[in-house]
Amino acid sequence: MLAPASLSAAPFAAYVMDARNGQPIYSQNANTPLHPASLTKMMTLYMAFTAIERGQVRLDSLFTVSSNAAAEPPSKLGLRAGQKIELRYLIRAAAIKSANDAATTIGEGLAGSEAAFAQQMTQMARALGMRNTQFRNANGLTTQGHYSTAQDMSILGRRLFYDFPQYYNLFSRRSADAGIAKVSSTNKRFLDAYKGADGIKTGYTRAAGFNLTASAQRGNKRLIATVFGGTSTAQRNQLMAQLLDAGFSRVRDRVSEVRPQPPRYLAKKVVRRAQVQPSTAATRPQPQRLVLSASEKPARRSAVPVSDPVQIAEAVRQAAAAQPAADGNELLLASSIRPNRRPVAEGDAVEEAIASAVASTEAAPRQSASLAAGLLSESSRPAPAPRSRGTQTASLVASAEKGQDPEAIARAVAAAVPKQGDAMSLMASEAPKPRSDSVILAAMGEGDRSEPEPLEIVSRASDGSRNWGVSLGLYRSRDEADQLLIRSALQDGAVLGNAQRNIANTIRGFEPKFVNLDKAGAQLVCERFRTRSQDCKVIGP
């Protein structure tokens, strides 16, 4: 929202709300953007408390004072450039004395620069429901584009009361130790003059006038009100007292308390498209076809057909006649081409061949001194059937060398070789079919080349499912807080589940907490504790 052209067009604004449920009671120019002055420090302190609770910083964390912070105009604590000071002292100076140099040091220490911190303050304002607020600095000095409204500052005051009750007592202190000096409250007059007042913050610049956000309680009633544009401190305080008195008379004594919900941080929606780099194989239009060139078939060797026993016998005779016996008893075969192997013959076929050779010898007395007869007389048992053509051929050659009749050997071979059409005949089997010479290679890596669906990445709100917890109040000693946590864990172990015990060391005391809960679990735990009159507060992320 843009600020109006002239912020002095509506110099006065007021807003009163019931702090218990946030309902408005009185409103005058409540949504008109005006200069908030030092009421800005309420948001600076809210950001500091948030950082402490999240564990980003500690109360004893040292912040370095920049030259920019040291040069801020009054009101100021008197910090020097390069000085290091604990965060707790900066918070006291900003909340009680409204020191500009302390507020600037807080902003620069948390965000790195005052401009970055102001941007974070504006984002937090939107998350808290402050719709007409924009920040440009951490201290509230008049700057173009820096504005807020009476209603938004009342919302922020209610948030400080409910979200950080452990730090809220700062706004009711009349004085405090700020490390390098003792500071006094700028709101001391109103706190002392109005019954039930316990905060919150004053503000003044020449352009803004005298501003004040106040909180007061009477009985069960609590009101929060904001005034912009007072003409003096006294007039502003008197007007605030009148607004609060009228508000207390109008609201009911008992109403249902509606606590503010945890801040709903804005989530940015980021949509990204997945980038797919196509591979070389995936971009090819069609599978590649590779055809191998066919080689010539090997030529057949000329050999005697194994299936023709007559030709085998003739070859044996020619080999035997080529070399006469040296002593008349042995036949020497001349070197000849080794015959091809034949299939393994069955044992019965070999025995029949030997029997046939013996019968032939007996039928022809003239061949009694044949090589086969001598072989049979020397062996008591026929030799086992040869396992291949090579072994049978070697046997025939050995028989011929011993002087046996070649014709008898031929007949034996003819009987042993299977006839045409036998299952073991090589010539009877068909030649195998030639294999295809074509080889098809599919393109590897081919996939879906369609447009990929967009990848949507949406960042969620920061209130994670397990970032909730419960606070059980404040105690003077750590032992007392620890005993409460242990006793509660023993009594309500089933409800607490995997909750973790934690003790925070705050300014007001030791705060026992159960953390690592979801939202529903934290609410259930608090309901159980409240039934036993135990203080309990749900802590959001």
Are residues 101 and 137 in contact, defined by beta-carbon separation less than 8 angstroms? no
**For residue 505, which phi and psi values (nearest 5 degrees)?**
-90, 100
Q: Which two tokens stand for residue 421?
A: 């059409």
- Residues 75, 76, 97, 98: which is the catalytic one? 98
**d(Cα 371, Cα 328) in Å, to the nearest integer?**
12
Active site residue 379: no
Known catalytic residue at 41: yes
* Distance separating alpha carbons of residues 316 and 412, to the nearest angstrom: 12
Q: Please tell me whether residue 514 adopts helix, strand or coil conformation.
A: strand
Find residue 468's DSSP bridge partners.
517
Structure tokens at 359: 């019968």
CA distance 179 to 433: 103
Q: Is 185 a catalytic residue?
A: no
Buried b (16+ CB within 10 A) or exposed e, 188-218: eebbeebeebbbbbbbbeeebbbbbbbbbee
User: Which residues make beta-bridge pairs with 226?
Assistant: 15, 213
Yes or no: say if 361 and 430 are a contact pair by the CB < 8 Å rule. Answer: no
DSSP string, 319-336: HHHHS--SSSS---PPP-
Q: What is the largest CA-CA distance in the chain?
A: 163
Q: Which of 41, 76, 97, 221 is catalytic?
A: 41
Q: At what angle do helices 41-53 and 114-128 cross, to 10 degrees?
A: 90
Rounded CA Rg of the chain: 55
Q: Tokens 């159980």 — which residue?
A: 528
Q: Which residues pair with 227 in a beta bridge?
A: 14, 212
Residue 83, token pair as written in the block: 């000085």
Nearest to 39 by CA among 115, 151, 145: 151
Closest CA to 532 of 504, 499, 495: 495
**Cβ-contact 134, 147 below 8 angstroms:** yes
List residues with catalytic annotation.
Answer: 38, 41, 98
